[in-house]
Chain A
């Protein structure tokens, strides 16, 4: 591809938010060297500032922090923080990049991140992380979990008093450094993930942000909600510190707004406001929250259910059709007065606080980046992409992901990030593995005959634990428990410097077991396991006590009892730790091939990208030909006919020598596990492969309502599209009804794409048949992102939008050939009669009915609706919880073409992370059979769903059960069924569990005497 020149097996990722980190991790895990450039002193991006994430209300930092650490510690990722691009030369495959690194005035190698410098710094200035709600020192880290955890001196604030230098025991402070240095780096590709900036809502003068103290922006409010924020999670009125009784949220501040020129929709603010209202109500029961929406844009997976819960369970008041014109302040009380539309009436109400849902705008560096890299941006300054090439910029070898190519939420950004990594992997396939350094762990220490020597690390988690549980007391207590030879307390046990400390203490005190008392093992166990492994301990010689999620957070009002419980939890963890044993992790070879199920747009895209990265792919499609849904789509939002691209894609798939297409075939049986699947197809063919992509698509709902199927002039949106494409459309009047078969009791969620497709078709009608009347009957118009432009354009061309309430939906009557549509219009509160030539139903996207059997076959979950359920809704959008199985496209949830392609590329990238390795390390938590006790009854074989235990005749007439380690999931069910107790589930052995029960119920005082 690159002529005779060789490509460079490295990539630069610009921007260290969730998207940048994901791209970096996927590339690094697929065998490429990565330089991750971030302009600020820490990676993390805007997500680090968030308190919670929708729709799961996960604590943002809790899910982000392990990613920060994983990125920071990856041996193939070099972090370039406080840095910016200076010059980029070269071409796809071989770029030469000059990077300017701004100095911290602290020697990075020496700084331990202890924070003594900041403690003693006398200067307090503006704190951009907390949006100036709290002061920052002149020497600072942006937030406590920062990666790398290295302090930076803000020369703008620093007065050069030298106090920090005096106190820094590491001698890390050096005022006299040159303020910046340049570095040159060679890479084969560039991924742009610079994110976005939040619109400065003070520019919307009529809202009084920056003038009225009780008007705050959404990011300020987010910091306020955060337990580690400036108010420690207390929602207070900035004017007087009082607890607000009512809060109003004003949506679309700096988006969908011709006044600010930002006419696009920022996509995430509706959900963010709902989340903030819900969380605020959880903080302050009895609080009244009101959100003034233009439309409720809850279009993502399970978002509509969240909206419903917010409205009906939390009592968040929702007003639609509102663009609040101004905020007035009562001078005496600093309360805020809003006028708003309530149906056909104008209402007025006083609120204690107002939150402005500020939208997204392109990052500041956007223009400069575009110029330097010669990439195209759209009229707003976001990176321009093609709908059918959603992660490609206009320059070959330069890819884009996240909000820089348009406002989007975290899962869509992360999917695009993986997608961009997939594109890079395909481009640089020849050089895979050439520039990476393999992580080498030291050889595991031999512990034979050693008594347990345990180290206990108790975490303050900032104030999360420390403000409730008496951490020093718990640490002191832990130090006296039997077998404990060392204990210490940490501000953040998960920070990078503490990992170093843990390794040092293992060495110094010859520890052979480590206990961390902090948060939940569900998020943090892998991090600490890796740390002990780096110090030569088997990773299973580690145990956690959850004294935050299950103690300090839930017992905030009873600090003494919480401290007592924390001691009990530590005692239980130490008791278990004393009985831990090193567990071997067998290396499982990987078959470098993938199985892609479903030959639609997503499946083909994924298959092709995996094939391009150099792996064998089996693409299984149940129909006679490839294409799936795509065959029925004749126009995208941008007005492009995708059929030409589709034809090309199909040809490429069929011609690629790495892809074997299995048409009219289905998956009958899947055996095995990550790296080693064995699949039997209906045709009888057997396939061996290392990973699976589920791309089974979805189906278009066949409406039962509005006379569909009974009256010839009632058609679906796809039929309208087809009519328009084939010039068969002829009508004077068309009515389009939205949300048919979605957002109802049976299918509670939004189908996401229908508003955009309605706009595309309405626009086409208006452009080609300007005299045709088009009415769109809607509940909320959800043309998120740049599709909002199509909505505006449709309105400009005279498409009429009538809002209906689902409680009184439109009524459709047939009068012979003619149709009557009665609408109970919500803006003007009047009944309207329409007599269209065509009634177009925008039918919902429903899950593929085949999902159920596939879910059983592959043992992967579906959500309530029947779409497949990913491992984590925010940060693992295309992974299943089961290793080695991925999903994309409509099988995941309804989405637009470009979004399906992004996910398909993402799934390919995730597959690459599996197939690029010669072997995978298996988990050590499996069950084993003690053959002396086993009587070969076969009960275990009977009940195991994974086929792990198999009874074999070991000698004539003697039967014994044997468990295949690679198939065993370690659930331990068989051990309970076993009548002779011959099965031992490792890591959850009966004696280990019983010792925890004993510890849980024992008295507080340790039996052992105090050690010297």
Chain B
């Protein structure tokens, strides 16, 4: 059996849209590796490459939600692996603040994630996307009046 065959059989009620900000060095490479190793995951994610997760302005995340994203992923290098020494720590701090803010605004916590994905973690990238899609499908569209 081919990996991810279950994806084909899935009949989603709606197609959630995920915008993923991936740092060039680790998580974008991880996403590439998912490809090199032919791991199959849902097509719902659109990657925006940035040099460092520390470049991800909270405004980008808010913008994505306001334009109709159902979920946003910020992915960077693992702690201490950052190509720019600690840009990922900055991203993590902003992530914590953003999560709280988004929750206060009424968004479910599953809709915004900050994850560490190494260049060697193609599987992790694929799993995160799979999981996020499943969670967003379960949640359904963002409720009116939110975000």
Contacts and interface: CB of A to CB of B under 8 A. Distances in A.
B103 interface: no
Interface in B1-29: 1-5, 7-8, 17, 19, 24, 28-29
B127 to A, nearest CB: 12
A346 interface: no
Contacts of B60: 990, 993-994, 997
Contact of B32 (A549, A569, A985): A549
Contact of A881 (B3, B35, B83): B83
A577 to B, nearest CB: 13
Contacts of A861: 81
B67 to A, nearest CB: 4
B59 interface: yes
Interface in A560-604: 561-562, 564-565, 568-569, 572
Interface residues of B, number: 53
Given A549-B35, A550-B35, A943-B90, A522 B55 contact: no
A990 B50 CA distance: 11
A234 B83 CA distance: 37
B84 A556 contact: no
A503 interface: no
A550 B32 contact: yes
Contact of A549 (B36, B46, B63): B36
Given A553-B36, A568-B46, A972-B54, A1000 B28 contact: no
Nearest to B60: A993
B54 A1001 contact: no
B52 A972 contact: yes
A557 B2 CA distance: 9
A564 B15 CA distance: 13
A554 interface: yes
A945 B46 contact: no
Contacts of A977: 90
A993 B48 contact: yes
Nearest to A521: B49
Contacts of B3: 282, 285
A55 to B, nearest CB: 10
Contacts of B1: 285-286
B56 interface: yes
Interface in A969-999: 969-973, 975-977, 985, 988, 990, 993-994, 996-998
A767 B120 CA distance: 48
Contacts of B147: none
A558 interface: yes
Contact of B28 (A52, A56, A522): A522
Contact of B59 (A283, A988, A990): A990
A971 B84 contact: yes
B85 A859 contact: yes
A1000 B33 CA distance: 22
A925 B64 CA distance: 24
A282 B37 contact: yes
Given A282-B38, A994-B60, A558 B87 contact: no
Interface string B32-46: 111111111101001
B38 A553 contact: yes
Contact of A973 (B47, B48, B55): B55
Contacts of B110: none
Interface residues of A, number: 55
Interface string A45-57: 0000000100011
A1000 B90 contact: no
B86 interface: yes
A500 B56 CA distance: 37
Interface string A37-66: 000000000000000100011110010000
A945 B32 contact: no
Nearest to A994: B63
Given A546-B47, A881-B83, A976 B90 contact: yes
Interface in A834-879: 859, 861
B35 A554 contact: yes
A555 interface: yes
B35 A553 contact: yes
Contact of B17 (A551, A561, A1001): A1001
B139 to A, nearest CB: 18
A555 B43 contact: yes
A111 B17 CA distance: 46
A489 B95 CA distance: 40
Contacts of A282: 3, 37-38
21 contacts: A58-B36, A286-B1, A522-B29, A546-B47, A549-B31, A551-B43, A553-B34, A553-B36, A554-B35, A554-B39, A555-B43, A556-B38, A557-B4, A558-B43, A569-B46, A969-B84, A990-B59, A993-B50, A998-B67, A1000-B48, A1001-B69
Given A59-B36, A554-B126, A565-B43, 12 more contacts: A285-B2, A286-B1, A521-B49, A522-B24, A558-B7, A859-B85, A971-B87, A988-B55, A1000-B17, A1000-B19, A1001-B67, A1001-B68
Interface of A: 52, 56-59, 62, 282-283, 285-286, 520-522, 546, 548-551, 553-558, 561-562, 564-565, 568-569, 572, 859, 861, 881, 925, 943, 945, 969-973, 975-977, 985, 988, 990, 993-994, 996-998, 1000-1001
Q: List 9 A-B pairs, minimum CB-CB distance, nearest first.
A: A549-B35, A972-B55, A973-B54, A553-B35, A971-B52, A1000-B46, A971-B84, A549-B32, A945-B85
Interface of B: 1-5, 7-8, 17, 19, 24, 28-29, 31-41, 43, 46-52, 54-60, 63-64, 67-69, 81, 83-87, 90, 94, 120, 126
